[in-house]
């Protein structure tokens, strides 16, 4: 039984790798998505059409606003800079995406099937990861950690 405790303890020492991979992966997802919507006219138009179909007010403004939030805060998440703020801002984008489009596309016949389809939506998984990063922090390989270690206790 002590080998299990040792193994789990060693695994715990490497949890920073999981935090780093999750942070960079989700950050890249948002950064690249926002970049496409900001700098590729076809992607921006596609975003605007999605907002119009979802009946979101001011679709032209919101297309640029959401793309900017994804681009800027995705980049901050990659760096591990202002991680809690980045997680909150990107979570707001995910919540709005889930509320305006994802939920409407679920065509389940029972509550359990609905829940299954809901949890299968990538936006939900991104939201869960952002929540985890908000609570756990960016890990030691981040600018946030570097800044906080310079400030001291």
Q: What is the mean pLDDT of residues 95-119?
A: 94
Model pLDDT for residues 72-106, shown as the tens digit of each residue: 999 999 999 999 999 999 999 999 999 999 999 99
d(CA 1, CA 121): 39
Distances (CA, A) of 56 to 26, 39, 82: 25, 22, 28
What does pTM read for this prediction? Answer: 0.92
41 and 81 Cβ atoms separated by less than 8 Å: no
DSSP string, 101-132: IIGGG---SSHHHHHHHHHHSHHHHHHHHHHH
Query: What's the pLDDT score for residue 153?
Result: 66
Domain ranges in the chain are 2-151
d(CA 139, CA 17): 8
* Angle, helix 15-39 to helix 122-136, in steps of 10 degrees: 130
Residue 38: pLDDT band with limits 50, 70, 90: very high
Model pLDDT for residues 6-36, shown as the tens digit of each residue: 888 888 889 999 999 999 999 999 999 999 9
CB atoms under 10 Å from CB of 94, counted, come to 22
Model pLDDT for residues 120-140, shown as the tens digit of each residue: 999 999 999 999 999 999 999
């Amino acid at each position: 039984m002590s080998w299990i405790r040792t193994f789990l303890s060693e695994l715990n020492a490497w949890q920073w790798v999981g935090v780093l991979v999750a942070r960079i992966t989700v950050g890249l997802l948002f950064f690249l998505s926002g970049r496409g919507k900001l700098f590729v006219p076809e992607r921006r138009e596609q975003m605007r059409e999605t907002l119009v179909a979802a009946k979101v007010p001011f679709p032209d403004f919101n297309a640029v606003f959401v793309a900017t939030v994804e681009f800027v805060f995705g980049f901050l998440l990659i760096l591990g800079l202002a991680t809690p703020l980045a997680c909150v801002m990107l979570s707001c984008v995910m919540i709005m995406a889930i509320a305006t489009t994802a939920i409407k596309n679920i065509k389940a016949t029972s509550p359990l099937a609905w829940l299954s389809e809901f949890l299968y939506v990538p936006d939900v998984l991104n939201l869960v990861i952002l929540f985890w990063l908000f609570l756990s922090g960016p890990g030691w390989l981040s600018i946030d950690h570097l800044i906080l270690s310079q400030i001291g206790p």
